[in-house]
Amino acid sequence: MMAITQYPELLEGLDAKQRAAVTSEAAPLAIQAGPGSGKTRVLTRRIAWRVATEQDEADKVLAVTFTRRAAHELSSRLRQLGVSSRNEGVTAGTLHAIALAQLQRRAGNNRRSFPQLLERKARLLFPLVLPHLTSDQEVGGRVEEFVQVSGVASDIEWAKARLIKPTDFSKEAIRLGRDTQLPPDKIEEIYGEYEKVKRTKKLVDFEDLLWWLGDALEGDKEFASEQRWRFRHLYVDEFQDVSAAQLRVVRGWLGERSGLTVVGDVDQAIFSFAGADPKGLTEFTRQFPGAEVLRLDHNYRSSPQIVATGEALLNDSYQTGSSPRPPRLASRPDGPWPTITEYENEVKEAQGIARQIREQLTPTNGWSSFAVLYRINSQSAAFEAAFAKQGIPVRLRGETRFLERA
């Protein structure tokens, strides 16, 4: 392993609150880090600091992220700090990748084969969903069918993230106010059929990985002890977006120990539609007795106008009677004020954005000057259809077109 960066260098360029988060001896610890507050820098410096000061053993550290890109960035920064390499040092990866590796190793140790991973649900769900579509939905063509199937897949993923079994789907969806793609009883039927098809074909999906690992950590004491010995120091990024299934795995890894650091921001909890529950962060001290919470409130990325707009929207969304939000502070020069437009649904949103792009196109403001960000992959179908109708060329980053995925 590379030489550890000297202690003072690990604190260079950090503000007072960032330094406090890096050097805190609290365990468990939650770092509530707002947008642009240097979250990844603080997380990697904290890991390096604790390894350098011999509070953590590098090869016993597990750093969990929620995307492969974030895992790659985390690993890259840790290598630069001298605390991670392929054969020794910190293990960093996505929750699903780590779960898959642990389950495959367990199956191998028990001389059992492990099912094949189903990376895309669409092909498996299409024949299960189509019989439940109305004539109006069928008339909508391939795009409408894909939207319906993607919506059903999201409903199933939401249920499994919350550890809801097929037989309980309708009851729980109604109780929790879930706005399902199809009536809850139809989703329940499709969900049950989907699970049967997977078993027949010897497949597992990403949600199964977390459910199965949680079961193994709770039901197999020897396996749980092995994982807890292997990873004694846990670091979890984006903790505001953990689901019940994910939190169960984290608890299973932790056991009775306190070596847990989490980073997140309740205001960035945008995956409740996928089963995430920000209570993992908001109720951190209740769920992990003896824990401490530190806050990073300086935004070093965005202009004051963007920060102020975000603050206004977030303050309006806070429940009456709840404690006031800690303000976020901007540290960048002034910029233009953003505009906010609300649409009735995803299709009209895509059509409206396509029209705006057409209207703003000029010889000096070409196609490559525009970018559209959406939070879930299934939204791409509506945008691709709207842009095709307007003759707008599209280059997708990080995914394939929906017809290739279907």
pLDDT of amino acid 405? 46
- Exposure b/e, 259-275, CB count within 10 A at least 16 = b: bbbbbbbbbbbebeebb
pLDDT tens for each residue of 18-28: 999 999 999 99
- Indicate if 162 and 78 belong to the same structural domain: no
pLDDT beyond 70 at 118: yes
DSSP annotation of 225 reads H
* In the predicted structure, residue 68 carries a pLDDT above the cut 70: yes
> Is the domain of 230 the same as that of 279?
yes
Same domain, yes or no: 229 and 245:
yes
Quick check: is 250 in a domain? yes
Residue among 159, 161, 191 at smallest CA distance from 174 = 159
- Domains in the chain: how many in total? 3
**Domain-embedded: residue 319:** no
The CB density around residue 383, as the number of other CB atoms within 10 Å, is: 22
Q: Which residues contact residue 376 at a Cβ distance below 8 angstroms, ignoring those fewer than 6 apart?
A: 154, 273, 274
Residue 243 belongs to domain with CATH number: 3.40.50.300
Residues 113, 107 contacting (CB under 8 angstroms): yes
The last residue of a domain, from among 165, 200, 235: 200
Per residue in 207-229, pLDDT (tens digit) is 999 999 999 999 999 999 999 99
Q: Is residue 176 part of a domain?
A: yes
Burial, 367: exposed, middle or buried (Cβ in 10 Å; 0-12, 13-18, 19+)? Answer: exposed
User: Same domain, yes or no, for 222 and 295?
Assistant: yes
Are residues 169 and 254 located together in one domain of the fold? Answer: no
Q: Which residue has the higher pLDDT, 95 or 317?
A: 95
Answer with the one of 267, 301, 335 that is the final residue of a domain: 301
Q: Indicate whether 91 belongs to any domain.
A: yes
CA distance linking residue 21 with residue 263, whole number of Å:
10
Structure tokens given for 125: 């769900």
Please tell me which residue, 397 or 57, carries the higher pLDDT value: 57
Residues 24 and 170 in one domain: no
Q: Which of 167, 200, 233 is the last residue of a domain?
A: 200
Tokens representing residue 159 in the block: 């249920």
Question: Could you list the residue range(s) of the whole structural domain that residue 21 is in?
Answer: 7-103+208-301
Residue 337 lies in a domain: no
Comparing CA positions, the residue from 260, 266, 261 lying closest to residue 241 is 266
Q: What was the pLDDT predicted at 3? A: 46
Per-residue pLDDT tens over the stretch 316-331: 655 544 455 667 777 7
